[in-house]
Every structure is written in structure tokens, then in C-alpha cells.
Structure 1
Amino acid sequence: MDVRVADTTTEEATAIARALATRFGERVRVFAGRGEGEPIAESDPPDGAEPSGAEATADAEAGPTEREERLWDEIADIRAGGPEKYRQRQREAGKLFVRDRLDLWFPDGLTFEDGTFANFDAWHPSAPDTEESDDRLPADGLLTGAADFEGRAVHFMANDYTVKAGSMAEKGVEKFLRMQERALKTGRPVLYLMDSSGGRIDQQTGFFANREGIGKFYYNHSRLSGRVPQVCVLYGPCIAGAAYTPVFADFTVMVEGSAMAIASPRMVEMVTGEEISMDDLGGPAVHAAESGSADLVAADEGEARSLVARLLSYLPDNADADPPRTEGRAPAESPEGIDSVVPEARRKGYDVRTLLDRIADERSVLELKPDFGSEIVTAFARLDGRPVGVVANQPAVRAGAIFPDSAAKAAEFVWTCDAYGIPLLYLCDTPGFMAGSGVEKEGILEQGKKMIYATSAATVPKQCVVVRKAYGAGIYAMSGPAYDTESTLGLPGAEIAIMGPEAAINAVYARKLAEVDDPAERERREAELREEYREGIDVHRMASDVVIDELVPPSTLREELVGRFDFYETVEKDRPDKKHGTIL
């Protein structure tokens, strides 16, 4: 069989020859372009391969017809993607060609692909009234379909950056919309593998502002939100309209070298006069640490796939399904050492991750947005195989006080966990919400409100552990006793109060203490007042007054949490009958 394809590399031609030889059981030669010349690749069928049609009756002609062979030639040409020079640029940028990327994600192959021939008549040399040119538009630059990913059936879309820089036009938009709408019907997760310069400006008629145009991407994102997990991976620049898909997705992974921004650096300079690189405008460092739009950053394409595999392992297929459980594992560190991890001194910092190492199953903690709002740790983890969402104050960063960014991060995480039925574990060790003119301007009240609202509205089982201090409205945001929490547990030395002893003494007794002339006497009296205050807020008093449900020995904390999450697994909570709240 002889096959002719448009401009291609020897490696791609060899792959095409091998695939067709295996399918049809005969020798295949691949030629470049329309002209004469030597084949650039050829392949014999593997041993034992039989020609298609070998089981037909003896008087029937074996093998595919010439008409089918022409179709396979067209498919092979489409799968070769855009012009070779653009494929070469992808390689130079350290990025995979989109179909090689799909091979990485789905090594067993696709379940199916939709719209392979999208826009075929507009560009293909075999189409009527067209000529072969450098302006190739195979699949209209956007691939959609379904595949098996780590044992899960998923929908996918992937931009082909070799076609007009991954830009989107009418036929590709139609494919994208159909994929989203089918996901609503199937209730299966969606993967967006993004590498797009945005809408195809020179072909915007028919897709930009139409009822079924690119704007409906985000309408469908909104309908899918909380219904099925949407995960987006960024491989290159995603500009303008393309940048909304990653921020609408439930989770976004940025590969180093990728970027997302509302406009390109060229457009920014034209509008504002600012000269800036793509990386400084919207690279991973910007969105991981400053905007909070990136949940995770991957060093390369392989790590991105691994991170998404871990991420989906905590999530159900849809809001009606249960989160997947695994075999439980012991923690990386013994729970016996929990009490030694938490310092007795309330002001001494420590890394709350060391506490998680003694509570969660080994290697089960996946932290999201670690560099954004890092006063709070948000992470998925497992307790005896059960997925849980962890919201933990981080005393190692600004004493674990809650700032606007960390409040916003926690609110979004709680909201997402509740949407997909993932129980919540709060580890409370905070002096409360930060005060000051700076945080007021940054919206501490607005963001704090959202965190408290998300905690209040969540209907999944919740447990709160007062690890050390719970001052001010921090106990509210961290799902304290008033927030329909299944359990509020305390560790030895924990305190719950409007404010810490030092601040309280200063607020209530500052004037009286100032009247004591002798410094030694003033210091003695101040220490005495602190101790009296501490007696009223100590965890033993809280347990005695049944403010908390139980004061537990630290070494039993993991056991307590596992048992309580098991017991409350099927709890149902009623919420007021209304359309929705107005806070988020």
C-alpha cells in the first residue's frame, strides 16, 4: 500500500507506516507530498498479522477497498497535525505534539475521537477547490473525545498548538461545546489539556458572540461546576478567552513554561504602555503565589499527568457518586509523637504538616495552592483509606493568623470538597483573623465572610480539632462547635477564647496595671491576671462545660478521627429551602 501525506518528519511517517501495516497486514510505503520520489518510510506487517478481510469467503477480494484506503490516508494526514515547522517549534519548547501528549495520558489509546474531519473542506488538498498550502487546519486545531485514565472513563479536549497556535474557531468551538454537554449527560470527569492563544481573530465570524459560540464555554463550565470534576492542565500560553477555562475548572495545573493572562504582552503594552514578558505577566510563579489561580505547578508534562492522577484519586466521577476509597495505610510517622510536635508555648511556630504526617495515611497528603495564602494549608489526604479535605492553620507562617488570601483559598477549597462529598477535617491553631489597615484594604472582612459562609453551608461530615489556640473568629472559620460540626475535639493545652491572654489583659487591665509604680509588682500582677484568664479558657474548662465534645490524648487522635468519620459517613444535614445564598 502506498500512502501520501503532507509535510511530515521521518519519525511520524514511520509511525504511520507501522500503524497501517499492522492494521491491513501488508507492506506500506509513505511518500511526502504529491510529487514523485523515494518513500520516506516503509514498514512490513508484523509476524502473524493477517490482512483485513482474511476471514471473508474465498471468492471475495481480501483487504480494504481503495475507497477505505483513501480514507485512512486522509486520517493519517489529519493526525500529522500542522506544518512541520510548528511541530519543530513545539519540540524546541520542550513540549509534546498534541497526539504524542494524548499517547502519554492515555497509553491504551482513545476510546474514541470526535470531529477528526472538522473543517476538512476548508484546507485539505483532496477537498474540492483547495490547494495544498502551509495553512493546515487539521481537526480545526482542537481534539475532543473520550478515553480511560487510570481506570476512569473521562472526556477530554486538547489544543493542537501546531494549528494556528492552538487558537479556536467555529468548528473547534462546536466540538468543545458538544464535549461539555455530553459530560453533563454522562456524569464523567473532564480533562482540559490547554495550549491556546485564544479565539482565532481572523475567523471570528460564527463563533465569538453567537448563542452557541465560545462564550457558551463558560456557561457550560458553570453548569458542570460541582457536577463533575473539571481539571485543566496548561502547557503553553493561554490568552484571553482561553484563559477562562483554567480559572473555571475545579483544579488547574500549570506546567513550567506555561502562562495564562487576560491579554498578551503585546496587547498589554499597547493598552497600558507596560513592557513585560509572558512569564512575568502570567507564568506559574504569578498564579501559584500571587493570584491563587494555579492549584499545582508541574516541572514537565510527565509530572503534570502524575499530579492529575493523584488529584482524581480523591474525587468521585460526579456529585452523586462517593469519593473513591483505598486500602488504608499507617501514617508516615507514629501518632505516639503527636504531643511532641505541638509546642506548649502558644507563640512558638511549628509546621502543621508534621502533625499531618502523624494523622494521615502515609504518602496520601496532596497540598493545593501551597504558595498562596500559606497561613492555611489546604490539602487532600486519606484517613484509613477515606479521602478527606484538610483545612489547617499553619503556625509556621505568620503565626497561623488568617489573612485575606488564606481565607479565600480555604473558602474555595471547602466549597469544592462539599460539592463532591468529601468530608472535612479542620486543624485549628490560630490567633484569629489578622487586623490592620492593610488587610482591611485587602478585604479581610469580605474574604473572612466567605470562609465562614462556606464552612456554614457545607453539608459533608466535619470534624474540628483544637490543636492549641483558637482565638477570636478563628474558631468560627475553622468550624467550631457552632457550625454543625459532627465532632469538636481538643488536645491538651488547647485554648478557646475571644483573644489570647496577653491581648485580653492589655485590653481589660491596661489602665489599672499602669497605675502600679513598682515594675516588679506590675509584672507579678500581670502574670497573675494571665493565669486567672487562662483558667477560664483552658480546654479542660471547655470540656467541663461541654463546649467541646471530647478532650483526647494526642496519641489517639488519628484513631478518634477515623472512628468518627466512619460513624458519621451517612449523616444527612438539612439546609434552609432557598435557591442559593448570596455570599459566594
Structure 2
Amino acid sequence: MAERIAQLRARKEHSLEMGGAEGLRKHRESGRLPVRERIDMLVDPGSWFEIGALALPERRTAKHVPGDAVVTGFGLLDGRRVGVIGIDASVLAGTTAPISMRKQGRLIEHAQRHGFPLVLLCDADGGRMPDVSGWRFSGLPLDFTTFLKPPPGAPVVPRAAAVLGPSYGDSALHASTAHFVVMLQSSSIALSGPSVVEPAIGEKVTDEELGGPAAATEAGNAHLVVETEADAMDAIAAFLSYLPPNSTQEPPWGPPLAPARDPKDLEEIVPLGPRSGYDMRDVFACIADEASILPWADGWAGSVLCALGRIEGRPVGLIGNQPIVRAGALDPAALAKERAFVDLCDTFGLPLVFLHDVPGLMIGRAAERGGILHGYEALVSRIAEATVPKVGVVLRKAYGGGHFAMGGRPTKPDFLFAWPSAELGFMAPETGIRTIHRRKLEAVLAEQGPEAHAALVSELTAEWNADAEPWEAAAHLSLDDVIEPADTRRVVATAIAIAAHGRFGG
């Protein structure tokens, strides 16, 4: 037995070598940390519990391949259990082969079966040749009923991914399944890397051009970009702190804190002029608890902002139009982004707070070819189906389909409020009167001249604006109330508590 134990210890020690002295040297020279140092940085000290450490490739060569280039196991993150898949790019560039895929699949199965989050540390150069070539590729141990999502009827577990180097193939697939993807400025993510793209289609491209931060965030493949690997681990910890271990449990509350900005500042932050710009992030800062806002995909579809935050300690999802980007109008990408965020919050029990300042949906050739109709239908259906508390506040303007896409009355919000500055309607006044009264305006211009035309436009605009003000909407209960801007945080917090009562810890 002593000999056997000695043999076990030797094999275990060998499994910790990763790429060996030379492989680790090259890996560090690229500016990246070894996978085991990444895991130590992520999980609580002394909590790591590894499985599959003695795994070896199906195709054995003289080269040592510890763990078949992937480290899998469990640990505590801020005291909560997580499963971790860490690709070891110091070994054969972290390439994927049957045994490494089987290891990853087993870890995913554990996380889903036992209901705790999954953290994916991505850094790999795709599939390993010849291990996955020819018939072997078709026979890979990849079960799409479990690898990409939970089995039918099973709870959903949060998935968070860190893109820490060139991440292609399997690593990119992992990131595509994640509810939150943080990437380094120096990393990239794409279906296939430059070494495959050029011989396949003749396109010569760099890692950065193909899937660097600018490309990845614009495509919605990454939600946050950071400078260091420590920053990436902190971002993952922050993201998971808003979510429950799985979709059957309640999100964890934090200590209630005052907002970073005085809610009274809202009266000054949001200008009355519908064309005047301001930053919706400043509104978030007056409503959410201090230091609680985590942006989600700011680089993707910037006309709508999504963020995780807390209001009086309760985790919430914040959605607001961004007037300084396309006036806050919603294009196909914005609709897709908002739908994904609504799905995240509804899946894990986070109430939704909609802050309306939207001129409408983008129209025209580009929007139609981009799928605006399908994106709109998919979003409003998803909002309507959401079972978490939904509270909306119209700050300034809420026109047409954009209003509904921000949680307007047909999507069944629990409460819908407005500021005295709110304007509601089918479309903006300048567009509406020229559409509805086009012939009358043309006739007056032709028969009575520009002055009479301008007077008629002014008259029609005044009538339109009077009908768009919030008072009639409140009188007919299309709004639950008209509130002062300074009361927004208090009203939203109370409305959520009422809507959550008995179901979401209200």
C-alpha cells in the first residue's frame, strides 16, 4: 500500500505541472497567468476540490498532457459553491480533445444536477488535431441537451465566463452559453481563430480584429471589458453576488445603502426639452444603492442601458434608454440586448425596473433588414411573460412601439408611473402632425403661405402635446400615478415590495 500511495502522490504531483517549465514560461511571457493561479485567485482559500486531475488524452504521445489541458472542480466563491472549468492554455494551447470534453461535460452535469453556478475560464485555440479529425469529430462526447443548457425541466444555474486569452472553438462555445462574459483588453473570442479563417476563406485578420474587445462587445459576445485577470475574477464574483445559486431559489439581498446621488438631483439631471441629451447612468445613480451598479453589455447596442443593481438591498435589473446614443431609439440590436437581459432577470428572480425615455423604434431600410419586426415581437412577448415584479417610470418621452418595448401597459407591468415631464403617444409630435395632417398642412402652405403654415403647425403641436401629457393617462388609469422625480427611488422600492409580496421575499 505504501508503494501504491507513493505512486498516487507522484501522479498527482505530475498532474499539477500543467505545461511544464517551458510551457509555463511561454504562457507567462504572453502576459497570461497559469490556469491554477487563476483558480486560486477566483475561489476562497482552501476550498478547491478537483475532479479529473489524472485524466490523460485518448491518443497518447511522448508529450505529457496533464489533465488533457483542462482543470475541473468545485470551490467556494464568497462562501457559495461554484463549479469551475479552467482551460489550460499552457498545454497544447488548451486545445479540445475527447477526454477534456468529457471532463467538462461531467463538471457541467454536476453543477446543473446539484444546482450551483458554473464559472468558465476560457483560453483555448479550438480543437486538437488529429484527436478530433475525421470520424472522431462526429463521435465527440458532446451532449447538447446538457452541455449548453440544463436538461428539460431542470433548474437553470448561472453561468459566468472570463475570456482570458485567444478563445476559439470550445472556449467560444462556453462563452456563448454564459449569462455574463467578462474579457480582457488583450483577449479575443470567435468561432474560429485567424489560423483557420485565412486558409478557409482567404481573409487575413488579427486576433483583435476578429474577436477583440471592440468586435466582441459590439456583437454582444462580451458584457464587460477589464484590464487584468484579477479584475475579471472580481467581475465574476460581483455578477454572481446578485443571483441565486439556481433558478429555484431567491436572489441574495445585500445591506441597504443610500444611493450614490441624491434623488432630488433627478430634477436637474433630466432636461425638459425632448431633444436635450443626458446620461441615463446618472439616473441609475439616483435610484440604485451606492456602489451596487454592475453594467451589463454597455458596448452592445448603446441606445439602451442594462445593469444589475440593488435598491434598498434587493437585487434588481435596471433598463433605461440612453438619450445620448441615437436619442434612445431602439434598433434590432437594442431589442435583442434588452430581451436577453429581461430573460436573465426573469430566470433568476430579479425584479425589472424600466426607465422610459424613448422616441420609438428605429425605422427604415437598415432596421427592417436587421429584423426589427421579429426583434420587437420577441421582446414584448418576453416582457409580458416575465413573472418577476415589473415597475416602469416614464421620465420624459415614451412613443409608439418603443414605449411597449420598455415595459408599457400591454406588457403587463405591475406598476407604471410617470413624471410630470412625461409625454406619451403613438409618435413624436413633429412626426405625428405631419403624418396625420399632411394634406391640410400642404393646402395651407400652398394657399395661405409659410406664416399660416407655421401657425397651423404650432396649433396642432399644442393640441398634440396637451393630449400627450400624463394627466389624462393618470385620469384613465393608464398610469398608476404621476410622481415627483425625487420620489422615484422610494416609489419604485415600495412598488417592487408590493408586487413581490408572498413570492419574491417582499
Aligned to 1:117: 54
**In the alignment, what sits opposite 2:491?**
560
The one-letter amino acid paired with 2:318 is: V
Task: Give the structure 2 partner of residue 85 of structure 1.
Answer: 22
Cα 1:226–1:450 change in 2 (3 A) is farther
Partner in structure 2 of residue 249 of structure 1: 178
Change (3 A) 1:552 1:380: same
* 1:459/1:572 contact within 8 Å kept: no
User: How far apart are 1:351 and its partner, in Å?
Assistant: 0.8
- The residue aligned with 1:223 is 150
Aligned to 1:414: 342
Q: Provide the C-alpha distance between the structure 2 equivalents of 1:217 and 1:69, rounded to a whole number of angstroms.
A: 40
- Following TM superposition, by how much is the alpha carbon of 1:510 offset from its aligned partner in structure 2, in angstroms? 2.7
Residues 106-185 of structure 1 correspond to what in structure 2 (within 5 A)?
A: 106-119=43-56, 133=62, 135-185=63-113
Partner of 1:208: 137
Aligned partner of 2:372 in structure 1 is 444
Change (3 A) 1:107 1:223: closer
Partner of 2:126: 198
Q: What is the rounded CA distance, in whole Å, between the counterparts of 2:145 and 2:122 in structure 1?
A: 15
Q: Which amino acid aligns with 2:138?
A: A
Aligned residue among 279, 294, 307 for 2:208? 279
Letter of the 1:282 partner, please give it: G
**Unmatched 5+ residue regions in structure 2?**
none
Greater RCO, CA 8 A, separation 6+: 2
Farther-moved stretch of structure 1 (563-572 vs 349-358): 563-572
Instruction: Look up the match of 2:362.
Output: 434
Q: CA deviation at 1:122?
A: 7.2
> 2-side partners of 1:505 and 1:120: how far apart?
70
Is residue 526 from structure 1 mapped to residue 453 from structure 2 by the alignment? no
Which residue number in structure 2 is paired with residue 354 of structure 1? 282
Measured after TM superposition, the shift of residue 571 of structure 1 is 6.2
CA distance, structure 2, for counterparts of residue 457 and residue 571 of structure 1: 19
Query: Which residue identity lines up with residue 117 of structure 1 in the other structure?
Result: L
Residue 239 (structure 1) shift: 1.7
CA distance in 2, matches of 1:558, 1:240: 44
Aligned pairs (5 A) from 1:413-492: 413-492=341-420
> How big is the shift at 1:503?
1.0
Q: Give distance in 2, aligned partners of 1:110 and 1:92.
A: 29
Q: Contact (CA 8 Å) 1:226, 1:416: kept in 2 or not?
A: no
Shift of 1:170: 2.3
Shift in Å, 1:84: 2.0
How far off is 1:534 after superposition?
A: 1.1
The aligned length equals 498
Amino acid of the residue matched to residue 346 of structure 2? D
- How has the CA–CA distance of structure 1 residues 218 and 259 changed in structure 2, closer, same or farther, with 3 Å as cutoff? farther
TM-fit CA distance, 1:242: 3.2
**Structure 1 gap ranges (5+):** 1-63, 124-129, 574-584
The answer as to whether partners of 1:238 and 1:260 remain within 8 angstroms in 2 is yes
Overall identity of the aligned pairs, in %: 33
Cα-Cα RMSD:
2.0
The residue type equivalent to 1:114 in the other structure is I
Q: Is the 8 A contact 1:199 1:242 kept in 2?
A: no
Q: 2:188 aligns with which of 259, 264, 267?
A: 259
Amino acid at match of 1:260: I
Q: Partner residue of 1:43?
A: none
- Equivalent of 2:429 in 480, 483, 501: 501
> Cα distance 1:354–1:477, how it changes in 2: closer, same or farther (>3 A)?
same
Looking at structure 1, the residues matched to 109 and 362 of structure 2 have their Cα atoms a distance apart, in angstroms, of 43
Contact 1:173 1:207 in 2 (8 A): no
**Mapped partners of 1:153, 1:432: distance in 2:** 43
Distance 1:449 1:551 in 2: 29
